Amino acid sequence: MPQLSHGRRMLVLAICCMSLLIVSLDNTVLNVALPSLQRELDASTSGLQWTIDAYTLVLASLLMLAGSTADRIGRRRVFMSGLVVFTLGSLLCSLAPDLNWLVVFRMVQAVGGSMLNPVAMSIITNTFTDPRERARAIGVWGAVVGLSMAAGPLVGGLLVDSVGWRSIFWVNLPVGLVALLLTWRFVPESRAPRARRPDPVGQVLVIALFGSLTYAIIEAPHGSLGSTLPFAALALIALLALLRHEPRRPEPLIDLRFFRSAPFSGATVIAVSAFAALGGFLFLSTLYLQNVRGLSAMEAGLWMLPMAVPTFLCAPLSGRLVGSRGPRLPLVIAGGAMTVSGLLFALFEAETSNATLLAGYLLFGVGFGFVNAPITNTAVSGMPTDQAGVASAVASTSRQLGQTLGVAVLGAVLAAGVGSSSYADTFVTASRPGWWILTACGAAVLTLGVVTTGRWARSTAERAARRLKEEEERARRAGVGA
């Protein structure tokens, strides 16, 4: 990619953030619409889980393929294709006649979404080559997640109450079209110097692993052991086969050599934990506010602002802290705040008091606001720039997998606790194990934030990057010699 002026780099950042906005906004807006979907489409708890997880599951399964494909054939080309498919998928979702078709069209959306965020992050990584400038850009990127969380509940609540749930997908249409035109006009094409070959076997194994695991978790409370155990076994088999297959590939879908770096491995687990907490938090909060407290979609959106606004405000601060002091402090703040938030619900039934509910939302918003920038920065730091798409795609996959598992696990826990009773009678008690799970996720962020950001961890990252470059150079020379 040619060196761009400061103004042009900022424009590229803004265009990439537009793609993140529509993808992130789509999830937060949909969460507010879940009770309306439940009523109009006669959806069960598992049906609501699938409207979210069908999207995040496909997204997680295809992100690494999209990242490597973009590095190979051109990042702008894949990014523009993603905008077209995502916008078309949004239109189809707004026309879905029933829940099954909505789930299918959400999967179409996800195919487009898989070409957006990891590719956009790769474009940003290659546009902002200075580490400090890159950290600030990633902080802005994280702030867009906060913006979507702040605007999503309000926009979603207003649209659902005034027009209906179908209108929440209309928001993506003008933004997607504008982003497409700006990308075509202002974003330069870039690709990795050496193309990576596809890994179809690895891709199939990833889809089998994520899909079967999610199905087994979501359907466990509703089906028999005999109906869910085969899917759990398939997930285990796919995982073992993936771990055996990938190291044998010269250019694997998932480069397991990245995980020699303790910061990279830590960032991956932190991403899964943090976004599992986010997915579960939004799922439980939306159902509680509307189905238990009886609030409208708009009122529920206003109640979620104390969580969304701190996320928006803390994300750029986290980016600046990562650039000036490294990732440890933001991760400690994030993990601590999320852990305390979970404990308020798990120990003190924060839902039953407005004051504790507000405090729980504020703390979670602060925690999530600080967690995104250090994840992204650590994932791409030290990696060769020609593999930026693959490295950032692993981080993005971890986020989506975490959100998928958060909704699946906490939804399953809630469904098992509620049973055939009404939400109003049993929700607080039934959701208690879920809040303990969210507390554990926050504690994992805190612990790994300390362990994987010290001197020892940095030394493993340096060794991993050095060995990776040496192995890549040997492979290149062997290819030239042949």
Tens-digit pLDDT profile for residues 9-52: 888 888 888 888 888 777 777 878 888 888 888 877 788 888 88
Q: Is 9 exposed, middle or buried (0-12, 13-18, 19+ CB in 10 A)?
A: middle
Per-residue confidence band for 482, with pLDDT thresholds at 50, 70 and 90: very low
* Residue 203 scores a pLDDT above 60: yes
Radius of gyration of the chain (CA): 21
Q: What is the mean pLDDT of residues 440-456?
A: 90
What are the residues whose beta carbons fall under 8 Å from the beta carbon of 140, sequence distance 6 or more? Answer: 13, 17, 316, 319
Higher pLDDT: 194 or 352? It is 352
Locate tokens 């189809």: which residue?
92
* Residue 398 scores a pLDDT above 70: yes
**With pLDDT > 90 as the criterion, what percentage of the chain qualifies?**
20
Q: Is 444 exposed, middle or buried (0-12, 13-18, 19+ CB in 10 A)?
A: buried
Sign of CA dihedral 185, 186, 187, 190: positive
Torsion of CA 90, 407, 337, 366, to 10 degrees: 10
Nearest to 390, CA basis, from 6, 47, 94, 63: 63
* pLDDT, position 387: 58
* pLDDT, position 466: 76
What are the residues whose beta carbons fall under 8 Å from the beta carbon of 316, sequence distance 6 or more? Answer: 136, 139, 140, 142, 143
Q: Is 26 exposed, middle or buried (0-12, 13-18, 19+ CB in 10 A)?
A: buried
In whole numbers, what is the pLDDT of the chain averaged over residues?
83
Quick one: the chain helix, strand, coil %, rounded to 5?
85, 0, 15
pTM here? Answer: 0.83
Range in 71-85, 144-158, 174-188, 266-280 with the lowest mean pLDDT: 144-158
Q: What is the mean pLDDT of residues 301-307?
A: 85
pLDDT by residue (tens digit) across 355-396?
Answer: 899 999 999 999 998 988 788 777 666 555 555 556 666 777
* pLDDT, position 448: 92
Torsion of CA 159, 160, 164, 165, to 10 degrees: 110
Per-residue confidence band for 103, with pLDDT thresholds at 50, 70 and 90: very high
Distance CA 17, CA 268 (A): 22
Q: What is the mean pLDDT of residues 413-417?
A: 83
Q: What is the mean pLDDT of residues 164-187?
A: 88
pLDDT by residue (tens digit) across 243-259?
Answer: 999 888 877 877 788 88
